[in-house]
Amino acid sequence: MLYCKTSTFIRKHWLGQYSLIRSFWLNTILLAWFTPLVALTLLSSNTWHVRPRVTSVAFVVIFLTVFPLLLWGMGGTARAGKLYREKGGRKIWPMAAMLATMLLLIDSFYFFLGTRGILIEHVRMGFTGKYGPPASVSVIKNGTELQLAGTLQDGSAEAFAVAINNAPFVTAIALDSKGGLLQEATLLAKSISQHGLDTYVGRECSSACTFVFLAGRHRCLAQGARIGFHAASYMHDLSRRTFENIATFQRDQYLKAGLAEPFVSEIMETPNSRVWYPSRKELLEARVTTQDCP
């Protein structure tokens, strides 16, 4: 019965059998555009800690329905507008409704075109259950140090937990990563802080890796090594709101770590397409590295 009612509703709107007001505001704006946007925002915030694979499948499904829904909304609104004019209604309202829906369609097209990399990541997670191989974590220096190398993908924090549970005498972790998932970096940072470990960069620690580095009690940088910063981009998100939230989160985390305000502002002004590598002097003055490091 519910299926029949739904099919009837879809068909009636498409044929323009609802009023212009209902076709435009309820069926097109609310159902075809606003509801998917809200769904994406809720999935992006993931306050229920839904498994990444489930979230990615939901993203892909919503992505595939957005444009058909908008086209369905536009078609029904156009037919409703035609009937509205035939009944003596003012021509301006159907024209305004169609202009608005066209702008929504164009805006959605350009937005999704710019986030196609996000969709690829979600498709990969949906089909394989992972975004990519997690960073490797190994025990070095006779069990006193861990080495984390590679991209911070799903499972990196879990690999760290397994490694440190099997190495009770570890006091530091050496990092070699160009970044990855912010969620994994946050989990790693929390674990490193809880264990009171020192952090050390032998070659490079950039992007999300910097959150892990800053969780160290003592934070050291080898000669010739570098630390890179840029504004974060939440790569597994399709809502504009979360891009804003992630910037606020990033700034707050850097400030909580004790970094100087001007230094944090410089990070936030560096686009995700570039990496800023401060000098050793700048890192020390901004309190990224600690005084007791060589």
Q: How far apart, in whole angstroms, are the C-alpha atoms of residue 210 and residue 291? A: 18
Q: Which amino acid, residue 163?
A: A
Residue-by-residue DSSP string for 174-229: EEEE--B-HHHHHHHHHHHHHHT-EEEEEEEEETTHHHHHTT-SSEEE-TT-EEEB
Q: Is 219 left (phi over 0), alpha (psi -120 to 50) or beta?
A: beta
Neighbours of 87 (CB within 10 A): 8
Q: Which amino acid, residue 66?
A: V
- Distance spanning both ends of the chain, measured CA to CA: 73
pLDDT tens-digit map of 26-83: 999 999 999 988 887 777 665 556 677 788 888 889 888 989 999 999 999 999 999 9
State yes or no: pLDDT of 237 exceeds 60.
Answer: no
Please, are residues 60 and 3 in contact by the beta-carbon 8 Å criterion? Answer: no
Q: Which amino acid, residue 220?
A: C
pLDDT tens-digit map of 165-208: 999 899 999 999 999 888 889 999 999 999 999 999 999 999 99
Which pTM was predicted?
0.63
Q: How far apart, in whole angstroms, are the C-alpha atoms of residue 183 and residue 180? A: 9
Highest mean pLDDT among 62-66, 167-171, 239-243, 275-279: 275-279
Q: What is the mean pLDDT of the segment spanning 120-126?
A: 78
pLDDT tens-digit map of 76-98: 999 999 999 999 999 999 999 99
